[in-house]
Amino acid sequence: MHKGFTLWFTGLSGAGKSTLSEMIEARFQACGAEVARLDGDVVRTRLSKGLGFSKEDRDENIRRIGFVCELLSNHGVIAIAAAISPYRALRDEVRTGIHNFVEVYVTCPIDVLAERDVKGLYKKALAGEIPHFTGISDPYEPPMAPEVVVDSSKETPEESLDKIWATLENLGLISFDRSALAYERI
């Protein structure tokens, strides 16, 4: 059983938002939940095609993702958004439109992100070769009071997933028969 709600993953590029959102989506599906995941990279190729990376375009992208999440949540679906969403004011704006909004801040130090980065984008951004790179030359404003904070440099994805799941249970947003989850861990 679950209520409609939005699970909003925010954090820098490479922090683990997509990985965690995919994992929790799979867990919800294993329990028979109605769930939809909006990944920031995928949304930019479809729903927000044509938007650039100016502050105005980033704001519009987040508003669009938020609107879809609001519609889904209002219809009893678990909406999962995984987007950098660098500006606190926009995340807070989206929060005000969604009755059950759960913010998950996926944090990770820049040096670890640069080590993980197979494309070398962080190294280029740190060298000044990429303008407007979030967290380097463009701001990222961490949430002030997220419902969940996970640190992908210190926790395994499974530990982070369990922390998020426990929070959702504590908030009364989910309650599932745990026997479905036993198969997931095999």
Based on the residue annotation, tell me whether 73 is a catalytic residue of this protein: no
Please indicate, yes or no, if residue 40 is contained in any of the structural domains. Answer: yes
Amino acid at 66: G
Q: Model pTM?
A: 0.90
Q: Could you read off the pLDDT of 110-145 as tens digits, one per residue? A: 999 999 998 899 999 999 999 889 999 999 999 999
Using the structure block, give the residue that is written with the tokens 């519009």. 60
- Tell me how many degrees the CA angle 70-76-81 measures, rounded to the nearest 5: 45
List the CATH number of the domain containing 75: 3.40.50.300
- Judge whether 95 and 24 are in contact, CB under 8 Å: no
Please indicate, yes or no, if residue 55 is contained in any of the structural domains. Answer: yes
Q: Could you read off the pLDDT of 41-80 as tens digits, one per residue? A: 777 777 777 777 778 888 888 999 999 999 999 999 999 9
User: Based on the structure, what is the number of domains in the chain?
Assistant: 1
Task: Provide the domain limits for residue 97.
Answer: 5-109+141-184
Catalytic residue among 18, 85, 152, 160: 85
Please indicate, yes or no, if residue 25 is contained in any of the structural domains. Answer: yes
